[in-house]
Structure 1
Amino acid sequence: MIEIPRGTLPEQTFYEQVGGEKTFRRLVHRFYQGVAGDPLLRPMYPEEDLGPAEERLVLFLMQYWGGPRTYSENRGHPRLRMRHAPFVVDRAAHDAWLRHMRDAVDELALAPELEHQLWNYMTYAAASMINTAD
C-alpha cells in the first residue's frame, strides 16, 4: 500500500464541497423566483424572460467558487460594477437583492461553515454594487 503524504492531495473547491453545478442552479433559480415578483428588482432585468440573467449568474457563481470557467469564456472578465452601472442600485435594491438571496441560500441547507462562507460573499457583493446614495 502506498501512503500519500498528508497535505499533498488537492483540496476540494468550494464549488465541489457544496455539490457543484446542481447546487448553484438551485440557488440561482430560487433567487430569481423571488426577483420575478419583486417590483423594485424586476425592472432591472429588461429581458422579458429571466432565463438569460439566471444563466449568467449561475455561470458567474460557479466560476467564482472554483467550477468551470464558462462565464469568462463566453462573456470575458466579469466587471460586475460596470455591468450594473446602467441600473440604480441603492440601499433599497441592495436590501431586496439580499432578501431574495437569503431565501435561496437558506433553501440549500448547507453545512454551517459553507453557508457562512457563501453568505459572506453575497453580502460583500451586494454592498459593492451600490452605485447611488440613498
Structure 2
Amino acid sequence: MSEETTFFDEIGGEETFRRIVARFYEGVATDEVLRPLYPEEDLGPAEERFRLFLMQYWGGPTTYSERRGHPRLRMRHAPFPIGLEARDRWLHHFRAALDSVELTPEQDERFWAYVTHAATFMMNTRD
C-alpha cells in the first residue's frame, strides 16, 4: 500500500464498505440481543452512520465528522448496555459481513483486529 492509497481505497472504497455494513445490519435486524439496543424503528440511519464512520476511520471521506462531529464512541454508546453477549453477537454479525466481501487475508486480519478491539472497548456492563 503506497502512502497515497488508504485502506479505504485498497479494499474497494465506498462500495465495499456499503456491502459490509449492509450485511452486518441484516444480521442485527433479526438478532434478539442486539435489535433492542437500536431505538430507531428503521435501522437505515444507524446503518448510514456506521458506514460513514468506518469509511472515515479507514481513510475515506470525512462526511461522518462533518455531520456529527467527533465520533465520541464510548459516550454515544453509553446509554446502551453492552456486555459480553452483546459484544459477541455484534462480532458474529460483523464476521459474517467481512466474510461476504473479498478481502485478502491481510486486509481481513487488519479489519477484524480493529473491530474486535472496538467491540471490546464499547463494553460497559457485565452480563
Q: Kindly, what percent of the aligned residue pairs are identical?
A: 63
Q: Deviations over 1:81-111 (max 9, x none)?
A: 0000000000000000000000000111201
TM-score (norm 1): 0.92
1:24 to 9, 17, 29: 17
Q: After the TM superposition, which residues 65-104 of structure 1 pair with which residues of structure 2 at under 5 Å, given as runs? A: 65-104=58-97
Which has the greater radius of gyration?
1
Amino acid at match of 1:118: F
Count of aligned residue pairs for this structure pair: 126
C-alpha RMSD of the superposition = 0.9
* Poorly superposed stretches of 4+, deviation over 3 Å: none
Unmatched segments (≥5 aa) in structure 1? 1-8
Q: Paired residue for 1:120?
A: 113
Partner deviation per Cα, 1:45-94 (whole Å, 9 max, x = no partner): 11111000000000000000000000000000000000000000000000
What are structure 2's unaligned runs of at least 5 residues?
Answer: none
